[in-house]
Amino acid sequence: MIIKPMVRSNMCINAHPVGCATETFHQIEYVKSQKETRGIKGASEGGAGPKHVLVLGCSTGYGLASRICAAFEYGAATIGVSFEKDPTETKGGTPGAYNNMAFDSAAKKAGLASVTINADAFADETRMHVIDEAKKRGLQFDLIIYSLASPVRTDPDTKVMYKSVIKPIGKVYSGLSIDIMTGTLKESSAEPATEEEIASTIKVMGGEDWRRWIKMLAESDVLAQGCRTVAYSYIGPELSHAIYRNGTIGMAKVDLEKAARDLNEQLKSAVGGSAFVSINKGLVTRSSAVIPIISLYLSILFKVMKEKGTHEGCIEQMERLFAERLYTGKNNSADAVPVDSEKLIRIDDWEMASDVQSVCLERMKNITNENISEYCDLDGYKHDFLAANGFDVHGVDYEKDVSRLDVIE
């Protein structure tokens, strides 16, 4: 069959197996080139850096990029957890399922140990599965990446399912967005969240589950001395704060940041470790495409940063996080991590630079359908949107027949 992207309401609902795999391989090649450029040596090569890494939410975006960096730049053994719909011969899977297949294939070829677990990362059964795998392989994690983003979470104790929402708090939020497929502006709005929705979003996207992971891993003695854990977040420009930073997701991220401070003290006491929240650059995701203002802001941001030569995708961001924040000591060992006054890692520094933001805000004020192609990186935004599902990826023949949907080559 010939597979074309199926886009509904600014969301792509299918995936191309070869395209997803190829995009993953592109990221791996980028990291390998950076390894050579920076002269990074992993532990097996006489250097340092992470040895045993657990990535929670390993299949797409920042989680996948983190796992690629840990494995292919530092030579770490990795265990990855994500919840995917696996493909069959005739039915397609999620993009993450194909990305995981590609990662495991490349890791095997490179002689890198990897275990990928397709399961609900919020469940205690999954935590025990990870612990059992670690003990079976004699691994103690020295880095744990928490990169989970989900619409739902079931509390392991009460069995109550909570749902997260992206909504403002207190009043309706309205603003312009971009219709990705037509490249035109449209007015979007979001109703304010109820108290129940705020609380539910914190339960799903806050720090409760992260705390539970670290607690169970510590009690099971699978944390190495000096273990670090990093969770990912976003702040963005003030114009988006009403829908994001000061909205339901922002409240959850405040809870996540509090968890980081608490976990930092616990890990410091238990294993001489530490916990951080990394504030990352805004990028195209399944959710950002439908949030008022965010899609417009990102398309303008991409254009401005590309003009300045500072634009980064997921893999560039995570490679810089590892090499210029987490592992800057002797022989690429763990060292003091630079943080801001709120103890946050700011790898969004290039996005939030004053010369970038001033141009973005000026263009946001003056955007129209007539000048949208001049002010926005429509092609780049659309590419990232499609590439996340394996479409519009360089080197893939999309006119070629795909005979099976459960293979990536």
Q: In the structure, what pLDDT confidence band is assigned to residue 292 with cuts at 50, 70 and 90? A: confident
Across all residues in the chain, what is the average pLDDT? 95
Least confident of 3-12, 94-103, 160-169: 3-12
Q: In the structure, what pLDDT confidence band is assigned to residue 126 with cuts at 50, 70 and 90? A: very high
Share of the chain above pLDDT 90, in %: 89
Task: Tell me the two tokens of residue 161.
Answer: 């399912």
Segment 176-198, tens digit of pLDDT: 888 877 888 988 889 999 999 99
Give the pLDDT confidence score for residue 11 in this predicted structure: 84
Tell whether the model's pLDDT for residue 290 goes beyond 70: no
Closest of 283, 218, 319, 225 to residue 61, by C-alpha = 283
The residues, ordered by sequence, that sit 6+ positions from 111 with a Cβ below 8 Å of its Cβ are none
Closest of 335, 337, 231, 339 to residue 277, by C-alpha = 231
- Neighbouring CB atoms inside 10 A of 331's CB total 14
Assess whether 244 carries a catalytic annotation.
yes
Give the pLDDT confidence score for residue 189 in this predicted structure: 87
Task: Tell me the two tokens of residue 233.
Answer: 């977040």
Share of the chain above pLDDT 70, in %: 99
Of 186 and 363, the structure prediction assigns the larger pLDDT to: 363
Tell whether the model's pLDDT for residue 386 goes beyond 90: yes
> Rounded to 5 degrees, what angle do the CA atoms 268, 269, 270 make?
95
Of 277 and 182, the structure prediction assigns the larger pLDDT to: 277
Tell whether the model's pLDDT for residue 289 goes beyond 70: no
CA distance 16 to 280: 27
Tell whether the model's pLDDT for residue 288 goes beyond 80: no
Least confident of 97-106, 214-223, 240-249: 240-249
The single residue of 98, 162, 173, 244 carrying the catalytic annotation is 244
Query: E strands of 183-233, at which residues?
Result: 184-190, 223-233
CA distance 147 to 164: 15
Give the pLDDT confidence score for residue 379 in this predicted structure: 93
Backbone angles phi, psi at 189, to 5 degrees: -145, 160
Closest of 204, 187, 200, 192 to residue 167, by C-alpha = 192
Q: What is the DSSP letter of 325?
A: I
Please, which residues bridge with residue 322 across strands? none
Over residues 159-180, the mean pLDDT reads 92
Give the pLDDT confidence score for residue 183 in this predicted structure: 85
Task: Tell me the two tokens of residue 305.
Answer: 């940063």
Give the pLDDT confidence score for residue 18 in this predicted structure: 97
Pairing label, strands 114-118, 77-82: parallel
| 3-state secondary structure at position 383 | helix
Q: In the structure, what pLDDT confidence band is assigned to residue 256 with cuts at 50, 70 and 90? A: very high
Give the pLDDT confidence score for residue 70 in this predicted structure: 98
Task: Tell me the two tokens of residue 172.
Answer: 């309706």
Per the listing, tokens 């992206």 go with 166
Tell whether the model's pLDDT for residue 286 goes beyond 70: no
Query: Which amino acid is residue 393, in one-letter code?
Result: V
Give the pLDDT confidence score for residue 179 in this predicted structure: 82
Q: Cα 125 to the chain's mean position, in Å?
A: 23
Q: In the structure, what pLDDT confidence band is assigned to residue 287 with cuts at 50, 70 and 90? A: low
Tell whether the model's pLDDT for residue 29 goes beyond 90: yes
Of 126 and 178, the structure prediction assigns the larger pLDDT to: 126
